[in-house]
Every structure is written in structure tokens, then in C-alpha cells.
A = this chain, B = another copy of it.
Amino acid sequence: MAEDKLPARSENFSEWYNQLVQKAELADYAPVRGCMVVRPYGWGIWENMTAALDRRFKETGHVNAAFPTLIPMSFFEKEKEHVEGFAPELAVVTHGGGEKLEEPLVVRPTSETIIGYMYSRWIKSWRDLPMLINQWGSVLRWELRTRLFLRTAEFYWQEGHTAHSSSEEALEEMYRILDIYADFAINEVGIPVIKGRKSETEKFAGAVMSTSIEGMMQDKRALQCATSHYFGQNFAKPFNIQYLDRTNTLQFCETTSWGLSSRMIGALVMVHGDDQGLVIPPRVAPTQVVLIPIFKNDAEKLAVMEIAVRLFKELKDAGIRIKLDDREEVTPGFKYNDWEMRGVPLRIEIGPRDLEKQSVALARRDMPGREGKTFVPQAGLPAAVSAMLTEIQASLLRKATAFRDANIHEPRDYDELKKIVEDGWAYAWWCGSKECEAKVKEDTRATTRNIPLEPPGGGGRCIVCGNPADKKVYFARAY
């Protein structure tokens, strides 16, 4: 398929994305409306993301568990905002084992309710707190207008659910996780996300406070990459999550939840990809390096393959995720295009001339053409390749950061805001009212993304109504 050219991003970003995700075999549409299949190459990225996040969760004291996929419908009805938020998106099991069920079950859209129920059974005393459990799995929210990774009925994610003895501790947890998400997005996926608090309109159904990390895609639309919520006692009360404190008094817990999904793969595509295809940051790339032997006849093949195989082993032993592409039914040129489309960060070429010079050619995916090509000695190749991968990782983040910063503007008035959000993000003072937020959305289709955690200092006038404002917010069109 590598010969079919992708549309240019500048011509049709949306179509470029849709074609690329399928062409690179990241995902495919399933024969179930709204669902996707994550193919091995896409799942390979998700496995690397999973490992990087899971390590961070465990380092901060979290453990994993598994809760049922099906949840009794009545559980959703216990928290008013929660059921209002999720009711329209539920898939409902009405029959099991050939019989109609007494109570319908719901395929989980999120697990606050069933985990809350279990917490109420497990938590007895202050000794059981904090309870810090995460779950890796999938959830289902009925969606008909779907886009692979960005919006599908079923998607893959982790959902953390924690219970604490004080609001301070629960808030601290919410912020700790937000920091983990930001660190992960920035340092593993190369996406310079912005941390902040969601507006009342945009917060999670049932939360006291929601926070998010937001990334800028190359079409300058925002993508919410993950969220971390503080619930206060909103779930503890209906689900009766209580503990005996050190004075033997029964208290309600304070809870949080937080999630990051396979949407992050969509973000990776839209932040780093180019007109040739994917560009995958080395730290999450299933294949970091592809080694391509070049030869014209059997004698050359014999000589080249001997060295290629040796170098392949050296690099693999050094812990580099490498593939040796020794297919003979396609040309090296075809292979270059194919692996470029798939976003492998670094290509190594080795041909007869390289043998003489005892060198190889390195071609960086993030710098197409001559600029990204260097020749390095075969001796000490693993160290040179590791250094190059580190540099590519850093370079992708620098580039994305420069792009983001060049496309965030501070409007002086409402008219300017309207212009800015056509092709960028506006960072502006906001009075905090739902009316002003709604007006911007109606006029421009831009929504509030988040309110940075560090107060801007001073004060200003709301960009919409002109009333005094003590916070600034990002307005952008979002996925």
C-alpha cells in the first residue's frame, strides 16, 4: 500500500489522518458500529505507553486490579449528575444465558459506581486508606460519529480510582496524577501539553473539580489528552464509602478518578506526523530502528548480510527495538517509503560501499532528505544509535513546543479572539461565567480548554463581557 500517496496535511488534515491511521495499520474499523480494532502496530505503541505510565503509577504507590465489565443499571442512578452525563451513551445487556434479566446490566462507560460499591465493602478504617487502585481495560460509550482513536464507542484506557481520608490528600492525589500525565505526554510522547483546570461546563459528570492536559494538534485544534478528577464526597455518600477515623468516628471518604486513553495514539499521529506518514517518538515506537541491507547481486548480498546481521544483533542486544528488513521481493526505495510512512524514527542503510568504509548511513525520520542523513562507523554503533534516538526524541518535543507557542495568541478584544481561534488558541482573561463561555462557543465553535494552575497574577477584564476577571483560560476548537 506504500505507493498510494496520502493527501497533504495542508489540503485536508482530517482525511490525511483517517487514511494514515489505516494505511500504517494502526487501527481499522470493526464490523460493530462505532468500534475499532487496534492492530498490532497500534497496539505496540499502546503497550509502550502503558508500560511507561504503569511504571509511574506504581512508583507512586498505586496497584492494579480488575472490576467487572458489566454494571447494574441501578448503580448509575445513585449519583444524579453522573447518570445524566452517561445515560444517553449506555449499551445495555438485557438478556443473559437465554433469559431476560431482572435488572438490565450496562457495559461500563466508566467504573466510578462499581468501584465505589466495592470500596464501601473493603474500606473499614483509616488503616485501609488511602486506597489507590488503577485498572487497565476498555470502556464503551455509544457513539455513532466515530474517528479511529479520537472518538469510538469502545476505547482502551486506564482508570484510576482512589479514596482518601481528607480533601487535602484527595486533591493532592488529583494533582499528582495530573503531573504524571503531563510528564508522560511531554517526555514519552513528545507532546508539550498544558495542565489546567476544566471549567464548570466542561468538567466530568459528578466531579467537584476536573483537571486536564491539553495538546495542540498540527491543525491547531486542541485535544484533551487525559483528565484527573476530584469528587469530594459526591460518590462516597451515595455509595457509602466510609471509614472509622483514629478517634473511632465514622467519616465519609474523599475520592478521585483519572484516566488516559488510546486517544493518545491519535494525538501522537496528529502532533508529529508529516505528509510522508507517521513520525513516532523513539520512546514509544514499537520499532525504533529499521536496518536495510542494499545489494545488487549474490556476492554483494553475502558480504552485506553478514555485517547487517552482526550489527542487527549488536543493536538488539543493546536493548534497541530494531527490525532487519531483508525482504527481497521489494526494492530498497520501496522499503524507505514504507518505513517512513510507518514512522520508524531511524533508518540504517548498509551497502557494499559502506562495507569498504566500515560505516553505515543513518537517516532520521524527523528530518527528511540529506539534512537528516549522517554516516557513522560500524564500530560503536549501538552508542551512536542510542544517542541519535535520544536526540530525535528531544527534537520532536522542541518542534512541537515551538509550534504550540507560535500558535497561542493573547487577544486584545473579542473580535481578535474570534480571528485567533480560527487558526490557533486564544489565551485570554475570563470572568468565569457560563454565559461568556457559551457565547464564545456559539460564535466560534471554540470551547474553554483549561485554566492553567499557576495564577497569571494581577487581573484583567473578561475578553467577552468586559467584567473584572482573575483567571486566564485557553479557548480553542477541540476534538
Chain A interface (Cβ within 8 Å of chain B)?
28, 30-32, 35-40, 42-44, 46-47, 63-72, 75, 87-98, 104-105, 107, 114, 117-118, 121-122, 127, 133, 137-138, 140, 142-144, 153-154, 156, 329
Contact = CB atoms under 8 A, between A and B. Distances in A.
B93 A31 contact: no
Contacts of A42: 65
A63 B91 contact: no
Nearest to A31: B117
Contacts of A69: 69, 107, 138, 140, 154
B96 A93 contact: no
Contacts of A140: 69-70
B65 A144 contact: no
19 contacts: A28-B118, A28-B122, A31-B75, A32-B68, A32-B70, A37-B66, A37-B67, A42-B65, A43-B64, A43-B65, A46-B66, A88-B98, A90-B98, A91-B93, A97-B142, A97-B144, A98-B142, A107-B107, A137-B138
A301 to B, nearest CB: 20
A72 B31 CA distance: 8
Nearest to A104: B95
Contacts of A138: 66, 69, 137
A39 B44 CA distance: 27
Q: Which DSSP category, helix, strand, loop or mixed, fits chain A's interface?
A: mixed
B39 A65 contact: yes
Contact of A68 (B30, B44, B68): B30
B95 A89 contact: no
Contact of A31 (B64, B114, B143): B114
Contact of A154 (B38, B70, B92): B70
Nearest to A105: B32
Contacts of A89: 97
Contacts of A65: 37-40, 42-43
B70 A114 contact: no
B44 A63 contact: yes
Contacts of A44: 63-64
Contacts of A137: 137-138
Contacts of A64: 40, 43-44, 47
